[in-house]
Structure 1
Amino acid sequence: MYNILVVDDEPLICKGLAGLLTSSGLGIGQIMTAYNGHEALDYVRMEDVDLIVTDIQMGEMNGIELMHQAKMIKPWVQAIIISAHETFQYAQMAIRLGAKDYLIKPLNGEQFLDSVRNTLLKMDKPVPRMDEWLSGDREHFQMEELHPENVERLKRLLADSSELAEPYEGDDSGDMRPLGVAGPYFSVLKLKLALPGGEAPSAYRERDVRLLQYAALNIVKELLHREWNALSFYTDELEIAIIIQWSEAEYAESGVNKINQLEMIGRTLHHHIHKYLGMGCIVGISQILKGPRFLRELGDQADKAILWSGEHRDYHVFYYGDFTWHNYAEDPSREELNTQTNRIVDGAKVYIEQNYRQKGLTIHEVAKKNHVSPNYLSYLFKKNTGHNLWEYVIQLRMEESKSLILNTDLRRYEIAERVGYESPEHFSKIFKKYFGVSPSELKK
Structure 2
Amino acid sequence: MHRWLRSEIEKCRRKHGYTLSKLSELTGINPGSLSEILNGNPPRAMTIGQLDAFAKVFGREQGWLYELYPEECLSEQRISRPRLIPYLARCVEVGRKDCIETVVSILLENPKNILILFALAEQLYEKGQLKESVPFYEYVIENEKDSYSDHFVMSQYRLFRAVLGTNAEENWENVIRFSPYRNRLPENYQLDALFQLARVCFALQKWNKSGEYGDELRLLAETVHMHELDRLKRNKKGEPLKPERPLVYYYGMGHLYKGAALEMQGLYEEAKQYVRVYADLGWFELLDEDGRKEVERFKVWAKANSYTLEVLSGNTDVLEEYVDYLESLPTNELLAGMISIMKSANTYHFCVDEILDRFSSQIASFDQFTEAIGLDRHLQFRYQTAIYEFGKGRIERGIEESIYYLSLADLMNRHDEALTYIALFGWLGNLNKRIGNQNELGG
Q: How high is the TM-score relative to the length of structure 1?
A: 0.27
Question: Which of 1 and 2 has greater Rg?
Answer: 2
More helix by proportion, 1 or 2? Answer: 2
User: Where is the strand percentage greater, Structure 1 or Structure 2?
Assistant: 1
| Greater RCO (CA < 8 Å, at least 6 residues apart) | 1
